[in-house]
Amino acid sequence: MDNINELDKAYITMPEGFKANGISADLKGNNALDVALIVSDVPCSVAGTYTSNLVKGHSLVRSIDVINKGNKIRGIIVNSKNANACVGQKGYDDACTIASSVSELLGCSGDEILTASTGVIGTRLPVDKIKAVLPQLVNSLSTEEQAAHNAELAMMTTDTVPKEVSAKVTLHDGRQITISGMAKGSGMIHPNLATMIGVFTTDADIDSQVLDKLIHSAVAHTFNRVSVDGDTSVCDMVIIMANGKSGIKIEENSEDYSIFDEAFTSLSNDIAQMIASDGEGATKFIEIEVFGAKDANDAKLIVTSVARSPLCKTAFFGMDANCGRIITAVGYSGATFDPDKVDLELSGLPVYKDGCAIDFDEDVAHELLTKHDINVKITLHEGDAYDRMYTCDFSYDYVKINGSYRS
């Protein structure tokens, strides 16, 4: 769409009035960045989506409480290495302490600072270490690209590449606003809801209730359609902060609302693909699509089932056109369909027709499977429902990374 101009240079402070930076509080060791701060010059509307895990990290629960109060906020502080989860009331208090410290330095109220934590579960957050670096972090806040990248780097855990997007969005009357997003996420990734930490900023002026609709719309088929390992983490959140610095108001049900919705969804989709592509140990990016499912629920069951199947994912790692495993995962998905009507294509190559394996050129299949991007297209001929999931393969490195993550 011509209204959306995605930028090659992407960073979270691209929209007007946002500053960021990252610093090392020595949580990870080796002077690696581990605390990120993103702040708006002026109070922002905010909306978020959160993990559906019944167990929730304390920093996340505190952020949900803050957002539910309906106040405007100034920013968010994120630490990696420690999830601040499963340590009891002290974990909630620790998150409050950190938010208070940040707010004192910024001259705002503690309830204007969101908190997010990601990493190991079950260990107290080293609050003193984090507090010790906050003055320097706040002083270093900047609109500069490198400072923004530092914030992204500080959020990352097992991620191997940063995930940042920016777009200039031209509204119906030619005026422009900017949206940026950044995320971390590589393992413990599966719907629902948002399955990673993602932060978006925009200089558009959008009321919280409208922003809430927009984020649910953007997340539904993007962040909520990524599965790395079927594990839904306890700390996940995606938020968007809108500070209105552009002076451009976006109202519900307007033409500009649709344009913003499309831009936000498109950026979310880009980050969702980056996360699947950077899944722990991944060597492949795999898109699973289902066409012609009976209804939306069946469609979702099928793409989820294939995307979390270890047998399918190891076959992709082995570049083996073992399509029986895909059909098997479709079969046990819980969806209702006639097995004798299923068609299957592997990156455009028909491999099953009417539920039967068909002869295909193994060399062609292997050639397709050596590529980094793989598409699986399942057609059921039962109805009109479509869905899609992004995932990655299952490699030796997934086992290596996760056999020794804590140490």
Residue 284 tokens read as 């492949």
| Interaction between residue 363 and its own copies (CB under 8 A) | no
| Interaction between residue 364 and its own copies (CB under 8 A) | no
What is d(CA 369, CA 167) in angstroms, rounded to the nearest whole number? 32
- Interface residue with its own copies among 324, 364, 368, 379 (CB under 8 A) is 324
Burial of 319-344, coded b for 16+ CB within 10 Å and e otherwise, reads: bebbbebbbbbbeebebebeeeebbb
> How many binding residues for its own copies (CB under 8 A)?
66
Output 72 or 284, the one with its CB closest to its own copies: 284
| Interaction between residue 230 and its own copies (CB under 8 A) | yes
Of 92-131, binders to its own copies (CB under 8 A) are 120-123
- Of 118, 105, 122, 125, nearest to 158 by C-alpha is 118
| Interaction between residue 336 and its own copies (CB under 8 A) | yes
What is d(CA 132, CA 111) in angstroms, rounded to the nearest whole number? 21
| Interaction between residue 193 and its own copies (CB under 8 A) | no
Spatial contact of 77 and 116, defined as CB atoms under 8 Å apart: yes
| Interaction between residue 297 and its own copies (CB under 8 A) | no
Say how many CA atoms lie within 13 Å of 407 toward its Cβ.
5
**CA end-to-end span of the chain:** 47
| Interaction between residue 379 and its own copies (CB under 8 A) | no
- Interface residue with its own copies among 13, 24, 101, 309 (CB under 8 A) is 309
Output 15 or 191, the one with its CB closest to its own copies: 191
Residue 106 tokens read as 């910024």
Catalytic: which of 115, 195, 222, 265?
A: 195
Q: Helix 89-106 vs helix 58-68: angle between axes, to the nearest 10 degrees? A: 60
Spatial contact of 178 and 16, defined as CB atoms under 8 Å apart: yes
283 as an active site residue: the answer is no
- Interface residue with its own copies among 339, 361, 372, 384 (CB under 8 A) is 339
Output 83 or 389, the one with its CB closest to its own copies: 83
- Residue for token pair 């991007």: 373
The DSSP symbol for 307 reads H
| Interaction between residue 31 and its own copies (CB under 8 A) | no
| Interaction between residue 308 and its own copies (CB under 8 A) | yes
Q: How far is the CB of 405 from its own copies (least distance, A)?
A: 7
A 10 A CB-CB count for 161 gives 11
| Interaction between residue 322 and its own copies (CB under 8 A) | yes
| Interaction between residue 396 and its own copies (CB under 8 A) | yes
| Interaction between residue 188 and its own copies (CB under 8 A) | yes
What is d(CA 227, CA 303) in angstroms, rounded to the nearest whole number? 10
Output 141 or 369, the one with its CB closest to its own copies: 369
What is d(CA 25, CA 39) in angstroms, rounded to the nearest whole number? 19
Chain positions contacting its own copies, by CB under 8 A: 51-56, 83, 85-88, 120-123, 187-188, 190, 229-234, 308-311, 314-315, 317-318, 320, 322-325, 327-332, 335-337, 339-340, 342, 352, 354-357, 394-396, 398-400, 402-407
Active site members: 195
